[in-house]
Chain A
Amino acid sequence: MNEELKVRKIENGIVLDHLPAGKSPDIMKILGVDNQTEETISILMNVSSTRQNKKDIIKIEGKGFEDLVVDKIALLAPGATVNIIKDFNVVEKRKIKIPDVIDVVSCPNPSCITNQREPVKPRLLVEAADPLKVRCYYCERVFNEHDLLEKL
């Protein structure tokens, strides 16, 4: 059977493509998908891919690009793409890139001033994307992807 037929096309919504194989459960967590979720969601894990050898795909019916916390997804899946679907057609493809500054994840250093009820957002400066290396603007400590995932 053709791979594409395993899960049917969606009418309106988004497709997260080129996710690293095996990362979709973590990404579902970021998307806030749980037993209260009403949208139709399809998850494909370990799909053969020419670009990545294996990849994961998540299809979400009825959601738009603006519903995604792109900077969080970027931490787990830099280089992934978001296909925006209208009337069964891809109307736009957006590449997910790691931003220069991450403010959607708190600093993993519990003693950092940004974790002490101060009126500031976290400010993690990206020094390298692959492998991920960020430095807190405030406490100056350096963290990797593993450190940040625990804070997602």
Chain B
Amino acid sequence: MDIISTRNMSRDFIEDVLEKTKKMEPIAKAKKQVDMLKGKTLATLFFEPSTRTKLSFMAAMNLLGGTVVGFDDPRTSSVKKGETLADTIRVVEGYANAIVIRHPNEGAAALAAKFSEVPIINGGDGSNQHPTQALLDMYTILKEKGKLDGLKVTLAGDLKYGRTVHSLAYALSKFDVSFVFASPPSLRMPRWIVADLKSSGISVKEINSIEVKSDVLYLTRIQKERFPDIEEYQRVASAYILDEETLKELGEETMIMHPLPRVNEISPGVDNDRRAKYFVQSFYGVPTRMALLAMVMADI
């Protein structure tokens, strides 16, 4: 089994992952190793920098009793010598029971899966997908709201290049949700994703500022590099910042999420608000990835 994209995941599969994540949560909280994946090796191939995803996969594998090998700087690997991804995968599959891959090109994880005999987990492929992030986001919402159906979810910031919001939108679309997509016009959710969501019967509203009355407000970082000049960036990005002032407008039960790292989208003054859930969200990366690793390597 591979974990490549939330677009093709069924509601049953997502619910199964969330159920298993719940069972892993006490182990992650206790930080006490079990031997479910003892003797198994996970390879982490990070062709792009990562902190949270890589560390939480390592922590997850360690808690399940397995070993991690890998690289996080392609400049020190054979990739620099011009090796194709297909070759790298065919070599590494000989060393590991599963592979996590992060790569700057869209479709890299699907290509890896084509060449690999061992399961592939997509740790982010260009601006396409980041399915394990979406699953931990789903777990966070379920924990905090007690349900996934009947929610109004606002995804805000860079919806064009942000792979986390692409994956989350597809994953949530398997449930009865409605979306508000809040972004500058130049960073709108890709047309084909909006079309896919609408064709599965999901309501989508697109606006130019953050919607503060949703059940979930999911903020993402807007990168300076996406704009022609710094003034334009500052002018546009300021509409997607949550600070003590905008917090006053926030719905009483609106939970605030962010895949992190943040720069200035959420001011530190928001951190202690009871609705701020981004650090617990980050923690849930460990039990979610434990569940996924156990599913692909131990067939639980």
> Chain A 100-124, CB within 8 Å of chain B: the 1/0 string?
0000000101011110111110000
Q: Which residues of A contact B108 (CB under 8 A)?
A: 113
Q: Which of A111, A113, A142 contacts B111 (CB 8 A)?
A: A113
A95, B103: Cα distance in complex, Å: 42
How large, as a class, is the contact surface on chain A? 10 to 19
Query: In which size bucket is the chain B interface?
Result: 20 to 34
Asked whether any CB of chain B lies closer than 8 Å to the CB of A16, the reply is no
Binding site of A, secondary structure by majority: helix, strand, loop or mixed? loop
Q: Are B5 and A140 in contact (CB under 8 A)?
A: yes
Q: A140-B7, A142-B192 are in contact. Are A112 and B84 (CB under 8 A)?
A: no
Interface string of B1-13 (1 = CB under 8 A from A): 0000101000000
Q: Are B126 and A114 in contact (CB under 8 A)?
A: no
Q: Are B106 and A112 in contact (CB under 8 A)?
A: yes
Say whether B192 contacts A141, CB under 8 Å.
yes
Contact between chains at B106 and A120 (CB < 8 Å): no
The listed residue (A113, A135, A137, A141) touching B105 by CB distance below 8 A is A113
Does A139 reach chain B (CB closer than 8 Å)? Answer: yes
CB distance from B111 to the nearest CB of A (A): 5
Decide: B128 and A139 in contact? CB cutoff 8 A.
yes
A140 in contact with B84 given A112-B107, A113-B106, A113-B111 (CB within 8 Å): no
Instruction: Give A102 Cβ to nearest chain B Cβ, in Å.
Output: 15
A138 adjacent to B107 (CB under 8 Å): yes
Query: Cα distance A66–B108 when bound, in Å?
Result: 34
B86 within 8 A of A: yes
Q: Is A14 an interface residue (CB 8 A)?
A: no
List residues 53-112 of chain A with CB under 8 A from any CB of chain B: 107, 109, 111-112
